[in-house]
Amino acid sequence: MSNDRTESILNSAFLKEYVPTIGIECHVQLKTVSKLFSGADNNAKEAPPNTLINHIDLGLPGALPVLNEQAVILAIKAAKALNSRASNFSKFDRKHYFYPDLPMGYQISQFDEPIILGGYVNIYDPINQRAKRINITRAHLEADAGKNIHPDKKNYSLVDLNRAGTPLLEIVSEPDMHSAEEARLYAEKLYLLMRYADVTEGNLYYGNMRFDVNVSVSKTNELGTRAEIKNLNSFRSVERAVNYEIIRQVKLLEDGERVVQETRGFNDQEGTTYSLRSKENADDYRYMPDPDIPPIILDDSYIDKYEDETNHLPDYYIDKLRDLGIDEVSSYILLDYELEEGAGILEYVLSLPKNSVKPIVNWIINIESPIILKLANITNNKINRVHSLYEDLLSISQEGLINSNSIKELIKKLFEMDKPPKDLRLYIKELGLIQNSDTKELESIVKKVVEDNPKAFNDLKNGEQKVIGFLIGQVMKISNGSANPSIVKELIEKLI
């Protein structure tokens, strides 16, 4: 189905009668040094197959798993990020199934007493400008399986167990989302939360966060039969898969057919989902407590200690920035920049005097990424330089010395320099960027522009207000961008 077709079906009348309901399970790979129950290296990214394994990962008879405390500490931090708290008591269970990448014949997971119960995630919908809370059912620790590889056109398959035993935190949401967009916003926020809590490297390319989405549609108050789309590894594919699935299910129901409860895959190229297998029920797995692993018993003081060590989380910054007059859309952009560039942008913004926050945030957001990229490459010492530069620029623009176009140009120039100019004001003069507020001089340019563009000026006289932008633009051009645009506007208006 093409995107246009999807769009037209999404907007069609019959689809509007159905309410989609979406719940998401997300497997977050925890950034421990070693695996969840073995001392093998947990960094499988580029390692040759089957080089990061030991007797425990191979499930050799008699091998005894030993819980990695680091994974527990990261779960405590993740709980805090989910507005929850790690349980004082949780335990591990065996989840039985057979697959070649699971040598033990069962996955070590947590069944009825997980390390995290409850919690919530705040999302913000920028289009409808609405905040929403998505509730968390639970999150549990479990060991990842290995990877089956099926070489093209070969009559054999291969197994790589490097990833077997990698610690995962599986976060299960309530079915609180009702559109593909909400599903994507939730996935994006979960990513921010886990990155800020510093519990995962969050490398989506390497599958550090994998999303399974449960989608159903219904015309009534009762939930419809759901399908689960497994292993989505980008925010975009979460949104596309949910959209596709909503339409597929509505079409089935409108055709008088049934939705079957099943597990489906997502074809990223085509944007379609396809059936993998009918869905197993929980009891198919024959869960049983794992007798080899003692339960996790955590004192409150132990939990408190690692909660206190958790970094500031996204909502902390969003709240602080809101108090400073920064809207949520801008705050989320800053939160992303901070992660991408690690440049201390957030702490810097929060340290600004209240009245300079807004213009400086606007510069950071609007003056393109070269600045941000530059920030990433500079040492702390230079960051201070950037900060004082912004403050100088602010006072210069507030004095009306330079217009906003020229400021952008100036900031770009300054970042290309190895050393900042000694006297910024002098430098601006030398560049010819000083804003020209000389009414006499500007008057003669305005006159010339009006004479050269008689049609535009006539249109303006006849009430076509938007033409004034064009005329101001012409004056800016002739003045090499130095004219004070508000004075130019006044002068043109006087001539009408």
- Which residues bind to Mn ion, rule: CB under 5 A? 170
- C-beta of 108 vs 491, nearer to Mn ion: 108
- C-beta of 160 vs 170, nearer to Mn ion: 170
- C-beta of 142 vs 182, nearer to Mn ion: 142
What is the nearest approach in angstroms of Mn ion to the Cβ of residue 132? 26
How far the first Cα of the chain sits from its last, in Å, is: 55
- C-beta of 264 vs 374, nearer to Mn ion: 264
CB contact at 8 A, 172 and 139: yes
SS3 123: strand
- C-alpha span between 482 and 404 (Å, rounded): 10
- C-beta of 144 vs 315, nearer to Mn ion: 144
What is the nearest approach in angstroms of Mn ion to the Cβ of residue 249? 24
| C-beta atoms surrounding 283 within 10 Å | 7
Of 45, 42, 44, 23, give the one whose Cα is nearest residue 33. 42
What stretches of 82-216 show up as alpha helix (H) in DSSP? 180-196
- C-beta of 109 vs 406, nearer to Mn ion: 109
- C-alpha span between 212 and 233 (Å, rounded): 9
What is the nearest approach in angstroms of Mn ion to the Cβ of residue 107? 7
What is the nearest approach in angstroms of Mn ion to the Cβ of residue 368? 41
Tokens for 372? Answer: 């941000």
What are the CA-CA distances from residue 438 to residues 151, 401, 445, 470 (Å)?
Answer: 74, 12, 11, 21
- C-alpha span between 411 and 395 (Å, rounded): 14
- C-alpha span between 344 and 350 (Å, rounded): 10
What is the nearest approach in angstroms of Mn ion to the Cβ of residue 419? 54
SS3 32: coil
Beta strands in 290-350 (DSSP E): 296-297
Of 485, 283, 316, give the one whose Cα is nearest residue 404. 485
- C-beta of 170 vs 182, nearer to Mn ion: 170
Tokens for 43? Answer: 């960094």
Give the residue at shortest CB distance from Mn ion.
170
What is the nearest approach in angstroms of Mn ion to the Cβ of residue 197? 20
Phi, psi of 336 (to 5 degrees): -65, -45
- C-alpha span between 471 and 187 (Å, rounded): 46
What is the nearest approach in angstroms of Mn ion to the Cβ of residue 25? 7
What is the nearest approach in angstroms of Mn ion to the Cβ of residue 415? 46
- C-beta of 109 vs 243, nearer to Mn ion: 109
- C-beta of 282 vs 417, nearer to Mn ion: 282
What is the nearest approach in angstroms of Mn ion to the Cβ of residue 285? 11
Of 81, 365, 318, 125, give the one whose Cα is nearest residue 239. 125
